[in-house]
Amino acid sequence: MNFKKLLFSAMLFFGVTGIYSQTTYRNPVIPGFNPDPSVCRVGEDYYLVTSTFEFFPGVPVYHSKDLVHWEQIGYCLTRKSQLPLDNCWSSGGIYAPTIRYNNGVFYMVTTNVTGGGNFYVTTTNPSGEWSEPIWVKQGGIDPTLFFDDNNKIYLTSNDNAEGKTGIALSEIDIKTGKLITQIKHIWGGTGGRYPEAPHIYKINGWYYLMIAEGGTEYGHMETIARSKNIWGPYESNPDNPILTHRALSGQNQQIQGTGHADMIQAHDGSWWLVFLAFRKAGGDFHQLGRETFLTPFIWNTDGWPVVSPGDTVGLIVKTKTLPLISMPVLPIRDDFKDTKLGLQWNFLRNPDNSAWSLTEKSGTLRLKGNAITLSQSASPAFIGRRQQHFNFTATTKVSFNPVKSSDEAGITAFSNEKHHYDLFITKEGNKRFLKFRVKIGNMEHIVKKIELTEGETILRILGTAEWYSFGFKAENSPNFIELGKMETKYLSSEVAGGFTGVYLGMYSTGNGEKCKTFADFDWFDYDTN
């Protein structure tokens, strides 16, 4: 890149006269499993969605006033008719949503890779209910909508159109989802594998096509091309990639896998990227999943975006931001006194609604274990929330008196059906026992067990970057007793595989048949102090 052009652009962005005071914000702006972010603006309000794969409800909706502080306000997919997850494998389901706003209507377009393909839903209230799916007969994943200023509407995906790997485009009827044109290949990227996550923007008469390449791992990157015609041909940015940590300058960063970005111009005229990345912990492992990050960018005098304007993005970013406006923060404790689950909670696949209740005993989450276990790709009696921090304490109080030796209930650190750590109450003979079990691939082992006295039990998972420690205490006891600890890396994406992060949750199972009794969870704490 021409150094003088970059310097000139940076001076315009940061202000050579010092009129812009720097403000610091911290990445990730949405921590924990929140990958594939997409963002839109309505006036001075910002809305963002992320992928959810096999978890239900699907596609959380976040709201912000400053792009830094975000509050979850709802979900796009709250009904099985919108999100069928039967027979969904781990890391199947919902891939890469895009959110757009046009003429008073919000659109969220995504792929259900195990249940129908590409579709979109609509609403006029992003915190409320969204429509039934409108299906689009264009293949591939990572679809996005583009509303042109000539009233034409287009859909892009990474479909292999015309026998070519890369990004495909078609014009669609937004009311029906039917294709108006043939599907055409428009760009193959810069040579990186898995060209995907396309987004089109029209800026100063140019159609910009931004995509991810390299796979959502250590070689991930974001590239961009442009054309005067939406159908192409597209000219690649000579300084691609515009965002990556695969180079020498990024190899020692804790942040890795940067890519799958979306672009937004703020209401003050500044430009920003939201993108996914992951944070390493305990070596080259990450257990929190891919998270949502934010970085500013500028336009150079040749009309190409320059990120940061350096080549890496840090955990601490010093830049001029929008006026910072805080959003409500979830309390440490959920005491289950509401008649609806909080937005932080998810099920595995479509829930068995007979297996849980908030109303049978007021102020209690009751789980009635079904035949499904955590080690099956199905819908166990499980309710969990994302692990969002390396250092945390997750604690719950449970009342459970198993009738049979197959009955169990407890707390889990869950990556997928082949990788989870469980602390649970069960029965042997006429006695209750607390057991700590690890499940790693085909290996399943009870690390330790201890006989329990009568009464309610408080279960705890204590997390650090490298270890999970599992302990308990009776309700009136002063101290926790540790049953065991296990390394976090065995629940990481590098070991467990897949695209999700660790969930911390409560569960119950009859191990092949329904439990004869129920487990009552009085509260659940998630504390990062």
Query: Which residues are identified as catalytic?
Result: 36, 196
Q: What are the backbone dihedrals phi and psi of residue 368, each rounded to the nearest 5 degrees, phi first? A: -110, 100
Count of other CB atoms within 10 angstroms of residue 88: 25
Q: Are 273 and 243 in contact (CB under 8 A)?
A: yes
Give the integer Cα–Cα distance in Å for 206 and 185.
18
Q: Token pair for residue 32? A: 């924990």
Residue closest to 177 by CA, chosen among 125, 121, 130: 121
Q: Token pair for residue 467? A: 């270890």
Distance of CA 195 to the CA centre of its chain: 20
Give the integer Cα–Cα distance in Å for 44 and 46.
7
* Cα torsion through 310, 313, 318, 320, rounded to 10: 70
Give the integer Cα–Cα distance in Å for 95 and 177.
19
Vertex 171 angle, CA 170 and 174, to 5°: 125
Vertex 427 angle, CA 424 and 429, to 5°: 160
Residue closest to 524 by CA, chosen among 393, 349, 403: 393
Half-sphere exposure of 478 (CA within 13 A, CB side): 0
- DSSP for 326-354, please give it: ------SEE---SSS--TT-BEESS--GG
Q: Are 491 and 287 in contact (CB under 8 A)?
A: yes
Beta strands in 183-322 (DSSP E): 184-187, 196-203, 206-213, 221-227, 235-236, 243-244, 255-265, 271-279, 291-299, 305-307, 316-319
Helix ranges (DSSP H) in 142-273: none
- List CB contacts of 330: < 8 A, sequence separation 6 or more: 342, 344, 526
Q: Three-state DSSP class for 4?
A: helix
- DSSP for 102-138, please give it: ETTEEEEEEEETTTTEEEEEEES-TTS--PPPEE---
Q: Are 53 and 500 in contact (CB under 8 A)?
A: yes
If phi > 0 it is left, if psi is from -120 to 50 it is alpha, else beta; for residue 363 that is left
Q: Token pair for residue 241? A: 């990639």
Q: Are 368 and 354 in contact (CB under 8 A)?
A: yes
Tell me 94's DSSP state.
E
